Amino acid sequence: MEKMRVMFLCTGNACRSQMAEGWAREMAGDLISIKSAGIENHGKNKRAIAAMAEVGIDISQQESIRVNGEMLEWTDLLVTLCDNAEEQCPVISPHTIKLHLPLTDPAKIKGSEEEIVAEFREARAKVKERVEFVISQLDSK
């Protein structure tokens, strides 16, 4: 049986979708094929990389990628992680299932370094919950 192909999509593919890709690789093992992308390409976010490293997940080698038609055609399940990605997502294939699980962008938080790091840790936890939900839904099929 072919693996389910899951793509996580957010605005810039720098924080939320990158974290989701990392969590999914960690938790799903060989259950699914995973990609992440953004409506735009914002590059790597050092705080997202650091937050994931704190829990032993290395996302530093993942690339920030702008979504394209080929990726959307590849995708069986598209998980949008922000309202912008939900609203701006290009047309998807009729065979693709779309799931919207929005999160606040931790990169937009202002404050002290401690407050910003705390926000990235909170985002990491919320992304993990969403990835666990996605995997549980796929596992029950």
- CA-to-CA separations, 38 to 47, 59, 76, in angstroms, rounded: 18, 16, 17
Which residues are identified as catalytic? Answer: 10, 82, 89
- pLDDT digits over 33-87, tens only? 999 999 999 999 999 999 999 999 999 999 999 999 899 999 999 999 999 888 8
Residue type, 29: G
Domains (ranges, CATH) in the chain? 4-139 (3.40.50.2300)
The alpha-carbon radius of gyration of the chain (Å, integer) is 14
Cα distance between residue 37 and residue 80, in whole Å: 10
Helix (H) or strand (E) holding 50: helix 46-53
Tell me the pTM. 0.93
